[in-house]
Amino acid sequence: MKRYIQYPRVAGVASRQAHADLPPGTYEREMSKEGFFGPAAFFHHRHPPTGWTSFEGPLRPHAFDLTKLPAGGAAGAITAPEGSPWAAHEVLHNAHCRVRWWRLPRSMDHLVRNADGDELLFVHAGRAELYCDFGHLAVEPGDYVVLPRGTLWRLECAEPVDALLIEATNSTYTLPDKGLVGAHAIFDPALLDVPAIDEAFRAQSARTAPEGAAADAGWRVLVRRRGVLSAVSYPFNPLDAVGWHGDLCVCRVNVRDIRPLTSHRYHLPPSAHTTFVANRFVVCTFVPRPFETDPGALKVPFFHNNDDYDEVIFYHAGDFFSRDHIHPGMITFHPAGFTHGPHPKALTRMLVQTKPATDEYAVMIDTRDALEVAPAATSVEWTGYVDSWRGEPAG
């Protein structure tokens, strides 16, 4: 535990409880260390800290409409076929995390293996059957699927699939330490589904070629290591295991199985919704929850300095109560180093909401290291996003 210099003080007109009982007519801003875990200061401002009239330079926030990206094809020494996860559009990346947008219009005609790190597949739309080293698993919208590094896999589509791919480069996905609330809070590990060696798996194992290919076409495996593809061909299906044992496996949990931590008297920070942890970044999930009912408690996210982490949010479904002009399939990126918070429209409901609960599903990625914006993301950027915070809240 770091021994920070700690000296809790109250100066001027201020609340003594974070995120509650704000002095009338003020807006709270949090400045903290280590995200929301270290020492913090809470300021009370007369105006929303995001009420800028202009914003220039690389710290400006971004919003990208991933639904405008087509199914991609990646060229290189070895070409990834259209619809391959290796042809997915790179959106954001750093040395520890790669975020890609994958559109799969039809079943994969090849197998893939990621030798660079664990892959987290979040299914935004579509349905498919996953076949992998460990067996068979059906996937549907809202599913998180953790694919450990080195897993051989492919999808057979019942419907075209749109998915967010989050690579833990040279790292492993783990579950967060849930502390005092215990291991069964948020979601019970018993909810983690794993593949089965069932009749569907055994039937596909017997095929000499992928579905839809010529019977003598064989099986092609595309392996990515250090960002470069290698191709390995087989006269038989490499997914032919008759059994396995151990404590390493593909697993799945759906967002509808997540039961968020809530407090009726205090707006919890995003870190309370952490779902997976990797080296140098975390993945959190926002799901429907009741609004705070204490009259003095904030009912919207608080303004905060984004000083230690880059923040990325992918919007999956519902009404995103703290954002305006954002629809499912969009992704926002707030680089570390500037203050952000709810849009002016959301601020009008800062203390009184018009409904009892939120109605949103979203995936948040907080990275300890700066992310780079890939050209594909720039091509579908909503450049007016930075201006969506302008002005005082109405009413």
How many C-beta atoms surround the C-beta of residue 319 within 10 A? Answer: 11
Q: What is the DSSP letter of 14?
A: -
Amino acid 300 reads V
| pLDDT on residue 73 | 54
Q: 169: burial class by Cβ within 10 Å (0-12, 13-18, 19+)?
A: buried
Kindly give the parts of the chain with pLDDT less than 70.
Answer: 1, 73-77, 391-395
| pLDDT on residue 287 | 97
162 contact partners, CB below 8 Å, separation of at least 6: 67, 101, 102, 103, 104, 123, 124, 125, 126, 329
Write out the two tokens for 5. 């210099």
Task: State the Cα–Cα distance between residues 234 and 147, nearest whole angstrom.
Answer: 22
Task: State the Cα–Cα distance between residues 72 and 105, nearest whole angstrom.
Answer: 11
Write out the two tokens for 153. 């896999």
* Tally of CA atoms within 13 A in the half-sphere of 54 that contains its CB: 2
Q: Apex CA 359: angle with CA 340 and CA 386, to 5°?
A: 25
Write out the two tokens for 110. 């090849």
Question: Helix, strand, coil: what percent of the chain each, to 5?
Answer: 10, 35, 55
Task: State the Cα–Cα distance between residues 37 and 48, nearest whole angstrom.
Answer: 24
Task: State the Cα–Cα distance between residues 357 and 51, nearest whole angstrom.
Answer: 27
172 contact partners, CB below 8 Å, separation of at least 6: 117, 118, 148, 149, 278, 279
pLDDT in tens, 187-207: 999 999 999 999 999 999 999
